[in-house]
Structure 1
Amino acid sequence: MNAFLAELGRQLVTRWTAALLLPGALFAAAVVLAEVLGQRHAVDRWALAAWWDGLAAGPAGGPGAGLLLGAAAFLLGAAAAGLVAQSVGVLVSWTWSLAGAGPVVGALTARRRRRWERADAAVLAAERALLADAGDPALRDRTRRAVARRVAVCLVEPARPTWVGDRLHATDVRVHRGYGIDLASGWPRLWLLLPDEARGELAAAQERCGAAARLTGWGLLYAALGAFWWPALVVGLVALPTARYRARLAVAVYADLAEAAVDLYGRDLALQLGLPCPDRLTREIGEQITAIVRKDDVVPRDRRAPAPRRP
């Protein structure tokens, strides 16, 4: 047990250092440069060299206590920046699944829905043309391109203001349409049945989603620092679209893995819940799984135990 705790502590320190402390140290260094150089001498290496020489010759370069306090302040600033970036990442992850009828959220969702409806109408028109002349290869290519454009918007009718949120929502919808399973309620039970390899793949994909959200936090911090030092704005403008691309990629992989877990191990979940499933998982069995995991009324009224009378 002691060896396990020591290894766990080492992994936590390593993960903290890689995920937050090192990027935080870079951001703290950027803050120092913004304070020293400012907008006017943003890339003036001579001004930086003069500041460094003055720092080495000043009181901070003499007594060890001053130097130690400066290093401690730098590390605390780096840790604080890492915590802020992580908090912003959590907020970004929360907005991925945001739903509602607010003015901003509703407008963004309606815009995505209109795009999807136009793409869906193009798919229907291409399919009708293909039915009229199934042997035309040009019509087949047109249909494939139309389907690809619709999928690029969303796999199902959009219900979230962002692509990432809709991709996660589409997994719930597709699993419910195919098997009748409420994935939100059934996922904890299914997770307990997954082998270690499947859990590892899902955990790695989830970690990549979190890393993309944290990168968004760093991008926003650098963009805000750009008001005082314009090179930081350049870093932020590069980090934000990179984070968007990485978030889309990571969420798509995670959603595909979650759906694949239901495809491969949904029958095992039915058997563990005591449901007969001699062949493949069907929608009827999936609806029974949903009723059990959601604790719905699965027992007929005439077989229920009578409620105890109050004294």
Structure 2
Amino acid sequence: MNAFLAELGKQLVTRWTATLVVSGGLFAGAVVLAQVLGHRNAVNLRMLRVWLDMVSADPTSERGTTVLIAAAGFLLGAAAAGLMSGATGLLVEWSWGLTGAAPLAGWLARSRQRRWEKAEAEVAAAERALLADTTDPVLRERTRMAILRREAICLVPAERPTWIGDRLHASDVRVHSSYSIDLVTVWPRLWLILPEAVRGELTAVQDRCTSAARLAGWGLLYVVLGMFWWPALVIGLVVLLVSRHRARLAVGVYTDLVESAVDMYGRRLAAHLGLACPGRLTAEIGAEITAILRKDDVLRPLRPVVSV
């Protein structure tokens, strides 16, 4: 137990150092630069050297108490910035689930929907041309590229204001279309019977999603700081672009793993619920699974349940 607690303490210190001290320290340093330089002298290194000389020449800077207070204030500021980035990251993750009910979210959702419908029309036109001459390699490549452009927007008709929101929604739609399974209802029960290795992979990808959202939180904080020191705005925009790329990769992998878990272990869940599933998982069995786990008869098909 002592060894376990010691290792746990090391892990906590490492995570605290990585998430608060390093990233928070960089942000705290940027805040100091914004206070000292401002917009007009944003990249004036000479002015920064003059300020550092003034601080070092101050008699109070040689006192140990002053140094300790300054170091404590810097660490507290770094920790506060880390907590703010975490809270902002939670808001970013919350925004992934927006449905388009709000005015701005609705405008974004309709814009994505129009893009998807345009891409769908291009796919339909390419497929009609390919049906006229199925041996033409140019038409086959044109059809393939049209499908890829449509799927780059969303795998199903777009409805959400963001790509990530649509990708998460697409998994629910695809699982329900294939198996009549309500993924929101079934997933917690399916999670309980997944092998440890599968749950480990899913947890690791979830951590990457959270990390990407926290990185977006840092980017937003730098953008706000850019109101007082314009280099922070540049840093914030770059960080937001990186976080967007990471979030898309992580969410794409996560949704693929979720759909794969349903494909591979849906029959095991049916067996645990006492349903006969000798072959592949069908929509009828999926509807029975959903009805049992929802604890109602709304989705239960009109046929007797065969116990294993």
Q: TM-score range by the shorter chain?
A: over 0.9
Q: CA deviation at 1:217?
A: 1.1
The residue that corresponds to 1:174 in the other structure is 174
Q: Equivalents in 2 of 1:290, 1:30: separation in Å?
A: 52
Q: Equivalents in 1 of 2:69, 2:162: separation in Å?
A: 45
Q: CA deviation at 1:198?
A: 1.2
The residue that corresponds to 1:297 in the other structure is 297
Q: CA deviation at 1:293?
A: 1.3
1:145-294 equivalences under 5 Å are 145-294=145-294
Q: CA deviation at 1:50?
A: 2.3
Query: Letter of the aligned partner of 2:173 in structure 1?
Result: V
> Are the structure 2 counterparts of residues 5 and 183 from structure 1 closer, same or farther at C-alpha, using a change threshold of 3 Å?
farther
What do the CA deviations read for 1:253-296 (whole angstroms, capped 9, x no partner)? 11111111111111111111111111221111111111111111
1:25-174 equivalences under 5 Å are 25-174=25-174
Contact 1:96–1:164, Cα closer than 8 Å, also in 2: yes
Q: Equivalents in 1 of 2:60, 2:37: separation in Å?
A: 19
Q: Equivalents in 2 of 1:243, 1:60: separation in Å?
A: 42
Q: Equivalents in 1 of 2:107, 2:268: separation in Å?
A: 42
Q: Equivalents in 2 of 1:148, 1:259: separation in Å?
A: 20
Contact 1:59–1:66, Cα closer than 8 Å, also in 2: no
Q: Equivalents in 2 of 1:238, 1:100: separation in Å?
A: 27
Alignment: residue pair count: 302
User: Pairwise CA RMSD of aligned residues?
Assistant: 2.0
Consecutive unaligned residues of structure 2, counting only runs of 5 or more, are none
**What is the DSSP-based 3-state SS (H/G/I as helix, E as strand, rest coil) of the residue aligned with 1:56?**
helix
Consecutive unaligned residues of structure 1, counting only runs of 5 or more, are 304-311
> Are the structure 2 counterparts of residues 62 and 114 from structure 1 closer, same or farther at C-alpha, using a change threshold of 3 Å?
same
Q: Equivalents in 1 of 2:139, 2:221: separation in Å?
A: 49
What do the CA deviations read for 1:142-174 (whole angstroms, capped 9, x no partner)? 110110111011000112111110000000000
> Are the structure 2 counterparts of residues 187 and 5 from structure 1 closer, same or farther at C-alpha, using a change threshold of 3 Å?
farther
> Are the structure 2 counterparts of residues 16 and 293 from structure 1 closer, same or farther at C-alpha, using a change threshold of 3 Å?
farther
Q: CA deviation at 1:2?
A: 4.4
Query: Letter of the aligned partner of 2:251 in structure 1?
Result: V
Contact 1:209–1:250, Cα closer than 8 Å, also in 2: yes
Structure 1 stretch displaced more, 46-55 or 143-152: 46-55
Query: Letter of the aligned partner of 1:154 in structure 2?
Result: C
What do the CA deviations read for 1:94-137 (whole angstroms, capped 9, x no partner)? 01111143322222111111111111111122212222221111
Equivalent pairs: percent with the same residue? Answer: 64
**What is the DSSP-based 3-state SS (H/G/I as helix, E as strand, rest coil) of the residue aligned with 2:181?**
coil
1:9-20 equivalences under 5 Å are 9-20=9-20
What do the CA deviations read for 1:171-222 (whole angstroms, capped 9, x no partner)? 0000111111111111111111112221121111111111111111111111
Give the TM-score taking structure 2 as reference length. Answer: 0.92
The residue that corresponds to 2:24 in the other structure is 24
Contact 2:220–2:236, Cα closer than 8 Å, also in 1: yes
**What is the DSSP-based 3-state SS (H/G/I as helix, E as strand, rest coil) of the residue aligned with 1:131?**
helix
**What is the DSSP-based 3-state SS (H/G/I as helix, E as strand, rest coil) of the residue aligned with 1:134?**
coil
Q: Equivalents in 1 of 2:29, 2:2: separation in Å?
A: 38
Query: Letter of the aligned partner of 2:284 in structure 1?
Result: E
The residue that corresponds to 1:307 in the other structure is none
Give the TM-score taking structure 1 as reference length. Answer: 0.92
Q: Equivalents in 2 of 1:285, 1:5: separation in Å?
A: 46
Q: Equivalents in 2 of 1:60, 1:128: separation in Å?
A: 81
